[in-house]
Amino acid sequence: MEEVPEDQMESPNTREGAGPSPDLPEEAGSGPVPPEEAGPVPVPPEEAGPGPVPPEEAGPGPVPPEEAEPGPLLPEEAEPGPVARARQVASVHPPLESFSPSLSNRRMSKFRRSTSGVQSLQETLKEKQARYRDAREGRKMKIGASFRYIFEVLGDKLGLDATTVEDMILDGPSLQAFDNFFAKDGSRTLNFLYQEGEAPGVECGRTIPGVVKGTKIMRLYLDTAPDKFRGLCLFFVRYRNDIPLNAKSIHEDIYFCVLDATEGLLRGTRNMLANIFLPAILATNNWGTLSQTTQGTTEKQNFIETINRYLSFLDGARVSIEGTVELKKMDHIDFSKLQSFEEVTAAAANSDTVHQLEEVLMIWYKQIEQALPPRQGKHMALNTQTQGAWRSGPPTAGMERE
């Protein structure tokens, strides 16, 4: 291709006066266009050859006259299109992944791990719930006629139906205590504790409507309670354990009793012995061979006296624990200033302070005297009188003899 002189080159805007367009064959004529009149013509693809056309030989492409600019634009004056602007933004602000190619992979892996962790946790919780439900169903399958007899007795005492009692018993982890009580040579007692406690969680194998974990509700525990015993102890006792219990004779082979510890265990034990067992012993006429001899009658009387002494011991223990004396607090005397020997000596020299201390001492003395048995209170009063006599002078002969 021949080079066109610069004075003969025309702008694309003057293409209308440059002659017929190469895209219109019908207006091209039969003769070739002279080189000096022809504008830069793009090389057709079929004539371009296999290799790429150099930019200086390709020439400008066909641009519509209304969109063409009068001259070449400087880079800072050109307004890029949407694609060009996106490329410029991408070149100015390269993505973070270009600096750290593995960052996006780490984020995705972290997201996958967190998602899989939540899913595995949910699956584990569901598996636990299913396992606890299966365990509860397994315990329920063991319940027979002997179980239901005990449930009915408990429900009658607690004012609950047998189904509610059964559900409360099944909340526990095991029914082994029942098996030990029913078996030959097994346990002689079966204990239940009815008191307020925390609502069972998912481990009980059921959901209690309207109750969330941690809420205080009435619970029926088998054998032991997780908290301090402060409710009702309902227990069954076997007369004999050399044979197994069965549903036909269970009502004849066991007896039922209740220990009410809502006001304290000592008071509940004392009331049960005094109101249930002692009257039953006194009403018993058949003592076997003990009633046939004088020695047997004496042993029977000694047994009853032993029970009475035990009841007195329980009363004394309850008074010692529950009847603790709390001395009255005195706000008008600062006892923190009577700690050292010098402070006590200075207070003893002040008659007003001594008088105030004597009043406090008499108040505390009366409180202590009321808490002591009568005999000990009498000796305490005698000692107080002796101390008062020593303050006024030597003790009298009568006091010395006492």
Determine the pLDDT at residue 188. Answer: 94
Tens of pLDDT, residue by residue over 38-51, are: 455 554 544 444 44
Whether the Cβ atoms of residue 177 and residue 225 lie closer than 8 Å to each other: no
CA torsion angle 132 136 139 143 (round to 10): 180
DSSP string for residues in 273-324: IIIIIHHHHHT----GGGGGSHHHHHHHHHHHHHHHHHHHHHHHHHHHHHT-
Amino acid in the structure at residue 256: F
Domain positions in the chain: 106-262, 265-324, 335-401
Tens of pLDDT, residue by residue over 315-331, are: 888 877 766 667 777 77
CA distance 145 to 375: 58
Mean pLDDT check: name the lowest of 54-58, 105-109, 148-152, 186-190. Answer: 54-58
Q: How many residues are there in the chain?
A: 402
Among candidate residues 327, 334, 348, the one with its CA nearest the CA of residue 391? 348
- Mean pLDDT (the chain, rounded): 73
Determine the pLDDT at residue 109. Answer: 61
pLDDT band at 390 (very low <50, low <70, confident <90, very high): very low
The residues, ordered by sequence, that sit 6+ positions from 242 with a Cβ below 8 Å of its Cβ are: 184, 185
Amino acid in the structure at residue 332: H
pLDDT band at 363 (very low <50, low <70, confident <90, very high): confident
pLDDT band at 122 (very low <50, low <70, confident <90, very high): low
CA distance 81 to 197: 75
CA distance 130 to 149: 30
CA distance 24 to 10: 19
Decide which of 337 and 271 is more confident.
271
Q: Which of 59-68, 74-83, 163-172 has the highest mean pLDDT?
A: 163-172
Is a pLDDT exceeding 50 seen at residue 57? no
